[in-house]
Amino acid sequence: MPGLEMVDWAEAQAALREEVARVVALLRTVKNPTAHAVGNWTLAEVAMHLFQAFVIVPGLARGDISAAHELLPDLAGRHGESLIGDVWDLGETTMSGVGADPERDPRVLADRIEARAAAFFEEARGHTADERRAWLVEGTSMPMPVFTCHLLNEAVMHGRDIAKADGQHWPIKPAHAGLIFDGFIWPVFGALGSRAMVDQKAAAGVRAVYDVRIRGGSRYRFTFDDGSLVIEPPSSERVDCHISADAIAFLLVAWGRQSQYSAIAKGKLMAWGRKPWLGPKFRSYLRNP
């Protein structure tokens, strides 16, 4: 959104390199590829989805999504340099993509991810951080760090899904969680418009200003106004509710991997201010694609 600073691209690339190495090593040690992972997907299907993210996102970053169209030919030529027409088409698109490729061997997918990631990092050498490319949804464009942080989000979150399904430990670094918010989630909210990521029913008539502080990271001002949302840098203007959030817990709650109430009970999410009761309502005002 206007006024928000772009993350340090070198820092984002270093974080992604680290997470790619972790997820590739994880996939090479998987014991049960058919274990249930998340939603209707098995561990192996999540791994396929992760690999396809490393096909689609780098293609967008270099302005060439022909490989994505080979995977999803019905979308070819429909949305210009982007892949889908609306963010709410994403679920069906990812399901179609996973179904289009029958490979389910985690070791094979680890090799594919490693190769695609290496190509992505090499291609990055030819770009500057402020260059913009069409992003996933038609009508949006992003600077280069957003594509890196998009992949960081995929590697961190789906790495966790895979590890959990296989009974393995998957620690998340707070700094990486912070980069996902600063470099991917909030820029996407801005690019899609003030109403796209807001639950219109839950936020109808709501007028509230939040001061959101990610511990050890960034701070933002969220202004909800009857179904619209503006995210800005913090200011001295009046705030209704302050939220202090542990970066990891906030990320897990944001992606539906943890209940906000367990995070609240552990002190990972805290609210105070003129209207502290707005704290637990914050998440309900937002939608996930």
Q: What does the pLDDT average to over 23-27?
A: 98
The verdict on 150 and 246 lying in the same domain is: no
Mean pLDDT of 201-217: 97
Residues 211 and 251 in one domain: yes
Is residue 1, in this structure, part of any structural domain at all?
A: no
Average pLDDT over residues 189-217: 97
| Phi, psi torsion values for 229, nearest 5 degrees | -140, 130
The candidate with the shortest Cα–Cα distance to 50, out of 127, 165, 146, 157, is 157
What's the pLDDT tens digit per position in 217-239?
999 999 999 999 999 999 999 99
Question: pLDDT digits over 55-75, tens only?
Answer: 999 999 999 999 999 999 999
pLDDT averaged over every residue in the chain: 97
* Domain assignment of residue 272, given as a range: 207-285
| 150 and 232 housed in the same domain | no
- Given 168, 192, 216, the domain boundary residue is 192
CA distance 19 to 30: 16
Q: What is the mean pLDDT of residues 33-47?
A: 98
> Does 53 fall in a domain?
yes
User: Could you give the CA distance from residue 35 to residue 33 in angstroms, rounded to a whole number?
Assistant: 6
d(C-alpha 68, C-alpha 74), whole Å: 11
- pLDDT at residue 145 tops 80: yes
Distances (CA, A) of 12 to 119, 147, 158: 16, 10, 18
Residue 136 C-alpha from the chain's centroid: 12
Instruction: Please provide the DSSP assignment of 254-269 as one string.
Output: HTTSS-HHHHHHTTSE
Residue 137 in contact with residue 84, Cβ under 8 Å? yes
Q: Looking at the structure, tell me whether residues 150 and 241 fall in a common domain.
A: no
Are the beta carbons of 104 and 44 closer than 8 angstroms?
A: yes
Residues 180 and 108 grouped into a single domain = yes
Per-residue pLDDT reduced to its tens digit, 66-110: 999 999 999 999 999 999 999 999 999 999 999 999 999 999 999
User: Which CATH number goes with the domain that contains 269?
Assistant: 3.30.1050.10
Q: What pLDDT is attached to residue 2?
A: 56
CA 272 to chain centre: 27
Number of domains present in the structure of the chain = 2
Average pLDDT (99-122) is 98
> 210 near 235, Cβ under 8 Å?
no
**Percent of the chain whose predicted confidence (pLDDT) is above 70:** 99
Mean pLDDT of the 250-262 span = 98
- The band of 4, judged by pLDDT with boundaries at 50, 70 and 90, is confident
